[in-house]
Amino acid sequence: MQQHSTYAPDQPLSRLCNKRILLGITGGIAAYKAAELVRELRKAKAEVRVVMTAAAQEFITPLTLQALSGNPVHYSMLDPEAEAGMGHIELARWADIILVAPASADFIARLTQGMGNDLLTTLCLASDAPLAICPAMNQAMWRDEMTQANIQRLVDFKGKKLHYFGPADGEQACGDVGPGRMIEPRLIAEHCATLFTSQSLSGLDVVITAGPTREAIDPVRFISNHSSGKMGYALAEAARDAGARVTIITGPVRLSAPDKIKVIQVDSASDMLNASIEAQAQCDVFIAAAAVADYRPIQVAQQKIKKSGEQMQISLIKNPDIVATIAQLIDKPFVVGFAAETQDVATYARGKLTSKNLDMIIANDVSNTDIGFNSDSNSVTVFWDESEQEFPRMSKSALATDLIDLIAYQYTATQTNIDNNEQ
């Protein structure tokens, strides 16, 4: 009988527990969403203190946010009560992260210029905590060259301490359609959670495959698939943040190389296999997130094939199964596979788990166009032994963090069993 796992991985927001979040609210219609954001953060057991600009108070009252956060709302540099209590410098020191949502074009411009002409900009300048900004403005304002230049300057100034969440595309309050909407509060909270890590893979070597492969037909044509590599790259970053030394073996993708991660670029399935065999020799955990082409042409034309007639036939041969090859090695690492299915997901996933000798398999339904390939969100079910764990739809970065924790948990359990059996 199939059983559900007794392991309960971190929920998407659990890493916010006991974290000190300083929420800055600037003027804009999206300020009304700050109330729901405070609720999400508090639900995750984070401690929240709110700072509002004068313009923000035109859209939502301090009293509302005080009631939701359970703390006084700060809005004046010269507030005698605040200065007699925590004080603006102590407030800056208190924060584990400063989250500005919504962040208006005006706020971004003033911060870029180093202005401390209100409490919120002063706190941003006075704090060493990471700064997360959720832009929210009219689509034309977002696209304006000055706004984009200000954002780039902030990135240059703040480096790794700066994080941008959004903006989203869609219909705006003014009636325009385009980029500039503040992303939803739940997603903002999830993004914040990913900034806090568990170090669950500390000291381990992790190899991850990502993206599609290209199987050449001739010098200009190839067979491939719709994989963007986003899930594999998110897993690589989550594993790195969990303390692992990470190598990512990637097919052709339009993603920037992650910081502090060794990147091996390949093209075909054969190239990925060779790189995987070499890399796994020194790895503890192997995660096969790449969407490898199942077949390749038997022969690759040396010159471009010319059009001749209405039909063209290409004979294909099966590609090597990379994850199965790694899992069959005598001294194999802990191997995690992926199953992208369009029907009977659980049945096919469990079949692959057994037939390929995997330790775990992560399955998702790619027939749902809202998740999976090229999407920024995903929903999966993980299978191992007689257990399974479902993960609801969330951002791929948040999902990657939870998956890495589960993989680390199972890896540790497996190593413990091996050690016990050897004694």
324 pLDDT more than 80: yes
- R_g (Cα) of the chain, nearest Å: 25
At residue 383's C-alpha, the angle toward residues 380 and 384, to 5°, is: 150
Does residue 403 lie within any of the structural domains?
Answer: yes
Q: Which has the minimum average pLDDT: 156-160, 218-222, 229-233, 369-373?
A: 369-373
Q: Is 60 exceeded by the pLDDT of residue 269?
A: yes
- For 338-357, the pLDDT digits (tens) are 998 878 888 999 999 999 99
Kindly state the DSSP code that residue 56 receives in the 8-state scheme: G
- 97 Ramachandran zone, left/alpha/beta (phi>0; psi -120 to 50): beta
DSSP character for 32? G
- On whether both 119 and 245 belong to a single domain, the answer is no
Query: Which of 235-249, 371-385, 386-400 has the least mean pLDDT?
Result: 371-385
Confidence of residue 12 (pLDDT cuts 50, 70, 90): low
Residue 10 confidence (pLDDT) above 80: no
Q: Please, are residues 198 and 167 in contact by the beta-carbon 8 Å criterion? A: no
Same domain assignment for residues 269 and 403: yes
pLDDT one-digit tens code per residue, 16-67: 877 899 999 999 899 999 999 999 999 988 999 999 999 999 999 999 999 9
Query: Given this model, what pLDDT does residue 175 score?
Result: 78
Q: Does residue 177 sit in the same domain as residue 223?
A: no
Is the pLDDT confidence value at 84 over 60?
no
What is the reported pLDDT for 422? 62
Residue 161 sits in the same domain as residue 238 = no
Q: Are residues 211 and 154 part of one domain?
A: no
Q: Is the pLDDT of residue 383 over 90?
A: yes
pTM over 0.85: no
Tokens 């060794």 sit on residue? 262
Burial degree of 231 (CB within 10 A; 0-12, 13-18, 19+): buried
Contact 191, 163 (CB under 8 A): yes
> Under 8 Å CB-to-CB from 30, ≥6 apart: which residues?
101, 102, 136, 181, 182
How many domains are contained in the chain? 2
Answer yes or no: 17 catalytic.
no
What CATH number does residue 136 fall under? 3.40.50.1950
As given in the structure block, the two tokens for residue 404 are 């890495």
176 with 242, same domain: the answer is: no
100 within 8 A of 117, measured Cβ to Cβ: no
Separation CA 43–CA 61 (nearest Å): 21
Please, which residues have CB within 8 angstroms of residue 417's CB and are 6 or more apart in sequence?
Answer: none
pLDDT of 53 reads 95
83 lies in the same domain as 154: yes
Rounded Cα distance between 408 and 180, Å, is: 37
* Nearest Cα residue to 351 out of 367, 339, 366, 335: 339
Check pLDDT > 90 for residue 322: yes
First to last CA, the chain: 30
Question: Tokens 């527990």 appear where?
Answer: 17
Average predicted confidence (pLDDT) for the chain: 88
Structure confidence at residue 8 (pLDDT): 47
Same domain, 141 and 269: no
Amino acid letter, residue 128: D
Kindly state whether residues 58 and 145 are assigned to the same domain: yes
pLDDT above 80: residue 367: no
Mean pLDDT of 235-254: 93
Q: Compute the distance between CA of residue 75 and CA of residue 51 in angstroms, rounded to an integer.
A: 5
- 4 pLDDT band, cuts 50/70/90, is very low
Nearest to 287 by CA among 255, 239, 328, 242: 239
| Calpha distance 205→333 (Å, rounded) | 10
> pLDDT-based confidence at 196, cuts 50/70/90?
confident
130: preceding bond cis by omega (within 30 degrees): no
- Which of 366, 326, 350, 398 is CA-nearest to residue 227? 366
14 within some domain: no
Single-letter amino acid code for the residue at 384: W
The CA–CA distances, whole Å, from 30 to 184, 371, 393 equal 10, 26, 24
Give the whole-angstrom CA distance, residue 191 versus residue 138.
23
The predicted pLDDT at position 293 comes to: 93
Same domain assignment for residues 58 and 187: yes
255 and 128 fall within a common domain: no
Contact 74, 52 (CB under 8 A): yes
Task: Provide the CATH number for the domain around residue 393.
Answer: 3.40.50.10300
Of 194, 225, 255, which residue constitutes the final position of a domain?
A: 194
Angstrom distances, CA of residue 27 to CA of 53, 67, 395: 7, 20, 27
Q: Write out the residue range of the structural domain in which residue 254 sits.
A: 205-303+311-414
Q: Which of 194, 218, 251 is the last residue of a domain?
A: 194
Question: Tell me, what's the pLDDT at 180?
Answer: 86
Tokens of 211: 């993206």
Q: Is residue 166 part of a domain?
A: yes
Phi (first) and psi of residue 114, to 5 degrees? 75, 20
Say which of 124, 174, 192, 283 is annotated catalytic: 174
Which of these three, 173, 194, 215, is where a domain ends? 194
Residue 71 lies in a domain: yes
pLDDT in tens, 178-191: 888 999 999 999 88
Q: In this predicted model, which residue has the larger pLDDT, 87 or 202?
A: 202
Structure tokens at 65: 């946010």
Is residue 15 a part of any domain in this protein?
Answer: no
Report yes or no on 419 lying in a domain: no
| pLDDT > 80? residue 115 | yes
Q: Is the pLDDT of residue 403 over 70?
A: yes
pLDDT tens digit sequence for 254-268: 999 888 899 999 999
Beta bridge partners of 206: 246, 285
Q: Which two tokens stand for residue 412?
A: 């540790």
For the stretch 275-311, pLDDT in tens is: 999 999 989 999 999 999 999 999 998 999 888 878 8
For residue 33, what pLDDT is reported? 95
- Does one domain contain both 209 and 190? no
Q: Is the pLDDT of residue 7 over 60?
A: no
Closest of 52, 53, 49 to residue 70, by C-alpha: 49
Residue 123 lies in a domain: yes
Assess if residue 5 is contained within a domain.
no
